A and B are shown apart, each in its own frame.
Chain A
Amino acid sequence: MTDEQPLSAAAGEPTPGRKLLEWRMTRRQFVVIAGGGVAAIAVAGAYDLSTMDSTPGKSPFWMVRVVRAGRGGRLTASGQRAFHAAPGPSVFTSQLSPHAVSRPAGSSSSHADGHTGGGSDLATSYPQPQNLTWGDVVVLEVEVVNIAAVSMLFSPGQLRLKLANGQTITPEDASCSPEPIAAGTVEMMWISYLAPSDAAEFSVEFTDPQHDALLALGVPLLVTAKEQS
């Protein structure tokens, strides 16, 4: 099993404007080895980057866990897209050193217009867009387990990044589309979000409208990405 494979639809095609990020990886499926229920998970192709795992959210139907989290800038210092090609998980593995996001001393907020992330100071120092849209990208690697007895529809949009002030954020991109997950199957995926530069604390909300449930998930230690230019 390979860790990364280009999405066939991405190769050689014009890049739509919305696809700021486009993960060139296939979804990795892990099959639950069930013996009278969920007994064990056979994992292959684990990443070599270790972070603190968060406690999974669990309902009678889903178990969802943010395995790893990364943070980078949308833009380079010259204002160009930081990820001119599709950034894959390698951005957050081979090129990075994990460390907690911290607020540089003496920095000030870049979001004085009220669109803040709940903090008053910059948490990162990535270049910020002139149009005051959010300049940071937060990427989550998520493990989703269907622990129900039937196939169920899953959409990356069910996971919203939550800021300290309570605002939640729609995914900007994901490595998969809304589609069914078979009973007893584990899916690994990446979901990216834009985020304000002054946001230092994140959590995740998983909404399951089919069962009228809401799960709160923690986010592991963020690692930060260097720009690819």
Chain B
Amino acid sequence: MRWSDVRIRLRALRSRDRAEAELDEELRFHLEMEARKQRAAGDARPDDSALVNFGGLEQVREQCRDVRGLTLLENMARDFRYGVRVLRQSPVFTAVAVLSLAIGIGANTAVFSLYDTVLLRVLPVREPKELTIVRWGAQRELSFNATWASGGGDGRGRWTKNVFSWAIFQEMRRGSKLREVFGFSPLGPVNLAVNGRALAGGAMVASGNFYQALGVTTILGRPFSSDDETIDGLPAAVISYRFWDRAFARDAGAIGRTVYVNGKPCAVAGVTSRDFVGISQGGFMRTPEVDVTLPIRTRELWEGAGAAKVAWFGDLFWIQVMGRLPDRTQEQAAISELAAIVVAGLPEEPRRELGREIPDIFLDEGAQGLDSLRSSYRKPLLILMAVVGLTLLMTCVNLAGLLLARASAREKEISLRLALGAGRMRIIRQLLMEGAMLSILGGAAGLLLAYWAVQGLLALLSSGTAPIPVQVSLDFRVLAFAGAVSMLATGLFALVPALRATRIDLLSSLKGDAARSRVRFEGRRADGNRVLLAIQVAVAVVLVGSATLLTRTLVNLRGLPLGFNPQQMVLFDVAPGKNGYDEARGNQLYARLTERLKEIPGVTGVSMSGQRLISGWVSNGGIYPDGASGVRVRSHFNFVGADFLEVMGIPLLYGRPITTRDLGSSVRVAVVNESLARKLSSSGAVLGRRFRWRDRDDRDVEVVGVVKDAKYDRLRGEMPATAYVPYTQRPFGWPQEMSYAVRIANQSPVSGAAIARAVASVDPMLPVMQLKTQEAQIDDTLSQERLLASVIGLFSGITLVVACIGLYGSVAYSVTRRVHEIGIRLALGARPAAVLGMLMRQVMAVIAVGLGLGLACAWGATRVIGHMLFGVQPHDPMSLGGACVAVLVITAIAALLPARRVFRIEPLRALRCE
């Protein structure tokens, strides 16, 4: 269409009324002339003859409008106004349609946004497709030293590792096939300090070419570019955008400032962009987020003073390697080259073990970075995708049903309009316009819903032990996705009814016996609709059943006796060892911090332990009750401060608890729980009994008390045999980090800030880590169960609502359609209750089929979540039966509401209205 055309059309649209008037005048003039001629010819009724000669006046008008070319816009405007009127006439229908579309589109947009961010998005680097992650492996496990490694058996008898030694990495950088080889390694959680303020964070080291090889630039300052770069004598650090925000409040003066990492200074060289969160979106194990990146040669600087010296640049395997492979056909050549480098660089022992075998080299796709986040959220997100996809399908099907029903209810109107000269295309266009209006409204509402849903889902997903440091925004691709879904929905539910409705046999429906044409096309519709409704009920049963099982699992897990009191308890960790504390100064710090915490108003008890309870972590090993030659008894250990048992509320049965005196004493003591007591002595009388940690350790540990059993690392499983030992008497060295447990008086608000102040007063360089209540700590270990329970619960609610909408619509329509028939029945003396029964019997048959189908599917589906369940069987009859009853009651009510209309039908009026 040319621009001038558009202008003419627009002008025409504005002067539409004038054009219409002119056309009218022109045609009127013609008819008058024709009538004059007929009169002259002696016609008795010249006006009528003129009209007859002319043919259909309205058709001619319509054709002229078409020719004028403004009809498209004009008609759209008219269709729009008509649509608004129609939709406003039936607000319930409109609301239901828009709402269910919003649910379908919103849920899909939200989940797709998450899916896109977590599973599909590639790293924001140059040519991400070229990136390759290097791993290696052998036929069996080789013996050498490795740290920060992952891998292991791959289930096929092979063995893989993701780390290399410094020597091998250096050779790889000199290789020619894999380009721009760079290496990195996480430092784990670190103590950071900026401006005298301590912050918990994560750090890693990377080779000097890291940023250049990735093609990542800084938004402020510059990245480091050599393996041991310094600024004014301090190691150069690149900080993340989020850390810049957190520590420097996005101050441009951050460049060159000092950041303390584990108590050692480094200087900020640059700040990376907001998009770049490192080469792993989910960070590394125990380092969910990398705040500071340091040159790789500075690796040994960041170890605590108390830690054993590590030969980072010797034979230790610790460097993860990536590179670029621009030409995938070179893959085999690169693999051979790398394999030769690995063989040459292996220390003696593993090389001997390897023999003549050539190690495997794996070049994994690196475009998305390391995959910790993807692998842990892949399954839940895929399940979510499937569920929301199903929801959208159901909403579309329901809407198609609703619109189809409406289209057939509007059959008379449509026939009338066809007869009055409206073209078939006009009618279809008009129905499509209504559909488009609904889906635009639904899509807009859906986007709004999606925005909230993403925040909600992110909060749900992040509540686990490692939060997701991702920015999920509804980007334009997601918008396009929602748009496509919305268009598809329009196509699905507006076009089909529109085409069907206009295929009505014009004559038969005008003659008033619409019944014939209607029956024909409703018979098909009704069958399909019933099947779809039954399927929806079935899906609802499956989801409600699963949600019930998961909820009961959560209730069971939360209701488990813990053996200690988790209420009114705040936990946090400190790691002075990283900042260079040795045993003497460290123990002093632990003691002083305990005193400071006790001074906080509202605190009623303070203690600490090597492992906080229900964290997923334990210390365990063997003890020797009968001396070096005796049997070894397996036990869990927790190395604790004074009063730990009392503060945690683990009841003492015999003997005495661990006290402050034990901490400073060289007399080795332990308190054991009942399970360990039974293992140590068949009679259970273990007070005064001695055991040794190791066969070569000659010092005895005396059991001075027995406590009741308590949970240790997790909720599931038996309460483990546990020994509580003063932390100062830990057999394998001083504990470099401890977890504090602060008991708080009822209703007393003790803030995290008060705790942070107490820690800062002891050492301002020491950050408070993992501050949370004991109950939140327990909840975190249930994150997967909770996530599934809430998501499935949410969607079971949604599907139930959708199924109810479907049933409501179907029954309402059926009552409207059968008003005449019901009127006859009532006139012939049928009681309204009996008619209601008749209607309900038909609906209940559909619901019953759905329930049966759902139960059968649930039987299979709940086995999938079987491993997550606790204290309830996958086929628990109470849960599945309860779900059936709940779905039955709710859907029956949804069907009953519109069916009640039969009580309001007056036989006489019903008969008259046909």
* A and B interact: no
Footprint of A on B, CB under 8 Å?
A: none
* Residue positions of A touching B, CB distance < 8 A: none
